[in-house]
Amino acid sequence: MRNTYKKGPLSEEQQAELQETVEERADATNSFFQSLFSSDRFSSAAFVNYIPFIAFVGLLAIIYIANRHYAERTVREIDQLGREVKEMNWDYKSLSADLMKLTTQTEIAKRVDTMGLKERTAPPKKIVVVRGGQ
């Protein structure tokens, strides 16, 4: 029906037709709800027919829960590995700084001095070998 202005009172035939369509719709709605909640749908024979579907839905629920647990465990492992990488990076930087300090010329001179070696102060000399025939 469209929104229109009433042009006048409805005739008895039109009122009867309108009443019939309203009753048909009400009956269709009532029959749907009656069939939905009827005792036939929830009988033991019908329930036995739904057991495979219920088992399938239960299996899907278990798989969903297991997948969720697996994902959470994986996220925790990734977080832990990230923390370990940061800690190892800090260790690397600390050891690298220590090594750089120990390999400076003054530190090497201090460590070698205990062995009785001294740092050379004179520049190196070039040795020229003269061969006999020239």
Residue 37 has pLDDT above 80, yes or no: no
Q: What is the pLDDT of residues 93-121, one digit of tens each?
A: 999 999 999 999 889 888 888 898 888 88
Q: How many CB atoms lie within 10 A of CB 108?
A: 13
Instruction: Give the domain ranges of the chain.
Output: 13-42, 51-117
Backbone angles phi, psi at 78, to 5 degrees: -65, -40
Give the sign of the dihedral formed by CA 115, CA 121, CA 123, CA 129.
negative
Residue 39 has pLDDT above 80, yes or no: no
Indicate whether this model's pTM tops 0.75: no
Q: How far apart are CA 1 and CA 80, in angstroms?
A: 66
Question: What spatial distance separates the first Cα and last Cα of the chain, rounded to whole Å?
Answer: 126
Buried/exposed 24-39: b ≥16 CB within 10 Å, e otherwise: eeeeeeeeeeeeeeee
What percentage of the chain exceeds 90 in pLDDT? Answer: 42
Q: How far apart are CA 12 and CA 95, in angstroms?
A: 102
Return the amino acid letter for 48: V
E strand spans, 27-90:
none
